[in-house]
Structure formats: C-alpha cells, structure tokens
Chain A
Amino acid sequence: MAGKSINSKTKGKQRIRLPGGRSKVAVKQKRSSRVVCGVTGKPLQAVPQARSAKMQTISKSKRRPERPYGGVLSSMAARKLIIAKAREEEQ
C-alpha cells in the first residue's frame, strides 16, 4: 500500500518508463503555473514560480517588483496605464 504522503492529491504524478521496459508512476511535487500579465498575458519577470507555502517564506520585495501594479501587470502595460491616467486627468 502506498504511503500517505505519496497518496496525497497535493503531489503530482507522472508515468515514467524504466530502463527494463516497465512503466511506473513517479510521485513529484506539483509546480505552480507562471504568473502572467493581466493585460498582455505574457509571463511576468521577477516573479518566482513557487507554491503558495514557499511564497509565504519569501520576502515581499522578492515576490514582485516594487513599482505600482508590480506582480500584476508587466512593466510596459503598467507604463501605458499610468500614461493614460495622466492624460485623462489633464482633460
């Protein structure tokens, strides 16, 4: 019987082929998806690809860029938004 830690659904499973030809299920830690920009949909730079438990241990300044909309929008998307706001304010 598989151990409780292996049977957990928090673990990712992958079928691998052994050198002898047999196939086996390898238990691996799940990987979180990359954080993407809310406007462009491109993966964000300087945001680590870590599980939420690991993210709690990382300092806030290492989790996302220090600029406004850091960790939500890419730098170019944020720049465009700020410019649009500034121009709107003027009118």
Chain B
Amino acid sequence: MIDVGRVCVKIAGRDAGKKAVVVEKIDSNFVLIDGQTRRRKCSISHLEPLNKTLDIKKGDSHDKIVAAFKTLNIDVKTTKPKTKKTERPRKVRKLHSKPKKVTKPKVEKKEVKEEVKEEVKEEVKKVVKKTVKKVATKK
C-alpha cells in the first residue's frame, strides 16, 4: 500500500493532519516523505494512506513534488530560506575620563623636613656655644 508516489496524511507529531507523499522507501518500517510536511524520515505507523497517488520518481526534488501536488489542487506552502541575521549597530557607551590626580612626592617632603631639622639643630648648637662663651667671658 505504501509505495513511492502514495499520498498520505501524517497523523502524529507537529505535522499531523498535513498531506505528504512517499518519496523513498528506506526499509520495511520507515519512508522518506515530502509535501505539506517537512522532507523527513517517517514511520509507516504515523501515516494514513489515501487513495490518491502522484506521478513521481524515487528521490525526486521538493520542487517536482510541489508541482505534482498542484495537479491534485493541493497547495504546498514554501517557506523562505533562513537568512543570517545581521547584527544591528550597537551604541558604544562613552566613558567619562576622570581628571588625573596630581600626587605629591611624599619622600621628598620627608627629606626636606630632615634637612630642616638638621639645620635647626646646628643653629641651636651655635647659639648654645655662643651663650657658653658669653657666660665664660663674664666670669
């Protein structure tokens, strides 16, 4: 009953209720179908054969099958081939440039302080020496 060219109705899956034709017999249980359904391997148990047959050859292309279905006044919707989505241009977020912090060299400050301390010490020593001399001369 199920041979190449037999029109069937698919009764299971998302293509259920759609008409298809047997394009190729794979083995005793499976066939290749095409038509209103997707071109795919299908179990015979998921097909309900009809009285109608199409004049096609084994392994015919989808276009030939669509033309054959038109003789039975059955429309086959052809879907557009999927096109690759072009990436839309995305806005590049502007980054606010932060003002650079001016860092003062800390090491130099310490050196200055040490130098100042040493100078002060020397001055103090001089003053002390002078006062000592003055006291000695008075005596």
Contact = CB atoms under 8 A, between A and B. Distances in A.
Interface in B1-48: 9, 11-14, 16-17, 48
Nearest to A66: B14
Given A67-B16, A68-B17, A78-B16, A83 B11 contact: yes
Interface string A71-91: 000010011001101110010
Contacts of A68: 16-17
Nearest to A78: B16
B51 A90 contact: yes
B50 interface: yes
Interface residues of B, number: 10
B16 A90 contact: no
B48 A83 contact: yes
Task: Name A's interface SS.
Answer: helix
Task: Name B's interface SS.
Answer: loop
B48 A86 contact: yes
Interface of B: 9, 11-14, 16-17, 48, 50-51
24 contacts: A66-B14, A67-B12, A67-B13, A67-B14, A67-B16, A68-B16, A68-B17, A75-B12, A78-B16, A79-B11, A79-B12, A82-B9, A82-B11, A82-B16, A82-B17, A82-B48, A83-B11, A86-B9, A86-B11, A86-B48, A86-B50, A87-B48, A90-B50, A90-B51
Interface of A: 66-68, 75, 78-79, 82-83, 85-87, 90
